[in-house]
Structures are given as structure tokens and as C-alpha cells.
A and B are shown apart, each in its own frame.
Chain A
């Protein structure tokens, strides 16, 4: 059974800092790994999707990597801004359509 863990649960950084959010998963037979953003009181918005055959994906200031052998994914945010403050969740997808989510990392970027 796939389990996804995100550490730390919360992170506070000053504006402009580069940061890394971590995600680990137990089953390396992963179809894809996705990163989502959740703002307070809102639903989830997809940020990046990495297929199992890929190593990383980039979108603007965001870069996500996937290392199946170690069961890890990272989300790198460059030059963080207060608008990046949100909860970031990673989710692994196996052979079915089911996503298994971590509990998220709550990021606060201080002006």
C-alpha cells in the first residue's frame, strides 16, 4: 500500500529565499508524482506532474524532481514571494486512477 509522507509539516522563510519541500513515498512502482497547492478555504490546484519516466519538471520558479529508487520527490521554489504562502501537497499515483496524498507542508513566506 502506497504511503506518502511530507516533512516538515510547516515551514516559515523570509521573502526571496530559495527553498525545498520534501516528499517521500513507500512504493517505487509509481505511475506519476504530482505537486498541488492549496490556499486556505480553497480546493487544490495542480502545479507540476512528473511521469515515472521523467526526472524533473519545471514551471516558472518551480522545479519538481522525482527519484524513484530512493522514493523521494522534491519541490524547489526559487526566490520565494509572500504570494507563495500556501499548503503544498504531493500525491503519488499507482496503476489505478487513485492518488495517495501526503498531509502537506504549510509554507509561510514573510515579507
Chain B
């Protein structure tokens, strides 16, 4: 298996633009997680899905953030409009219940 795949690996955009991050989980994993990592706050859970259904989105910082999982092999995290404080590394992870999570390589987002 190729592991968790994320795209793009790097994204540079200007404030106010829409940003879409993509994730393909490991086949057969029922859980998918979106995290954000910054120096100041560390690694924070934004939202997670079970069998394509959002279970907990309490970590989503604002209404500007939205996530979808239309099928078992694809998820998106969208930021609209983007702001400089959204600059971070965004990780997607998948997991077979109940043990450890498998992380993708991350998307480094820079909002100018």
C-alpha cells in the first residue's frame, strides 16, 4: 500500500483565496483525521470521520474551514477565504479502529 496520500505537498496562496487540500486514506481504514501543526500550538485535531461521516468537528477553528468525505477513498479540507494565520502544515491520517493512526506527509500551506 502507498500509505496516506496528500496533495498538494506545498501550497502558496494569497489572503482571501480559496484553498483545497486533498487526502486519500489507506484502503480499508474506516477513520480519517485532519490535523493542523504549527510551532505555537503543536498538532491539533480539526475533524475526524468514521465511515465517511463526520464525527467530531469541534476542532475546526472557524466557519471558513470545511471538510468533506464523499467516499471511502477521498477527503478534502477547504479554507475559504484563507488568511495568513491559516499558514501551517496540514496532516491527514487514517486508522483502522481502534489503534494507531497512519499519517500522510502533510501539506505545507503558506498564505501571504
Interface residues of chain A, those whose CB is within 8 Å of chain B, are 31-32, 34, 36, 41-46, 49, 89, 96-104
Complex Cα distance, B55 from A42, in Å, reads: 27
Are A97 and B100 in contact (CB-based, < 8 A)? no
Q: Contacts A89-B43, A97-B55 given: A43-B98 contact, CB under 8 Å?
A: no
Partner of B97, one of A32, A43, A97, A99: A97
Interface residues on B, range: 20 to 34
| Other 9 A-B pairs with CB < 8 A, given A44-B103, A49-B99 | A43-B4, A43-B91, A43-B106, A96-B55, A97-B98, A98-B45, A98-B56, A99-B45, A101-B43
Considering the chains assembled together, what is the distance between the CA atoms of A101 and B37 in angstroms?
10
Q: Answer yes or no: B34 CB below 8 A from chain A CBs.
A: no
Least distance between A80 CB and chain B CB atoms (Å): 24
Residue in A36, A41, A49, A101 whose beta carbon sits within 8 Å of that of B42 in the complex: A101
Binary interface encoding of chain B residues 89-101 relative to chain A, with 1 for a CB under 8 A from any of its CBs, else 0: 0010101011111
Identify A96's interface contact among B4, B56, B93, B105, CB under 8 A: B56
Spell out B's residues near A (CB within 8 Å): 4, 31, 33, 42-45, 48, 50, 55-56, 91, 93, 95, 97-106
7 A-B pairs within 8 Å (CB atoms) are namely A42-B105, A46-B101, A46-B102, A97-B97, A98-B45, A98-B48, A101-B42
Cβ distance A86 to chain B, nearest Cβ, rounded Å = 14
Rounded to whole angstroms, the CA-CA distance of A42 and B102 in the bound complex is 12
With both beta carbons as reference points, the residue of chain A lying nearest to B99 in the complex is identified as A49
Within the complex, the shortest CB–CB distance from B100 to chain A, in Å, comes to 4
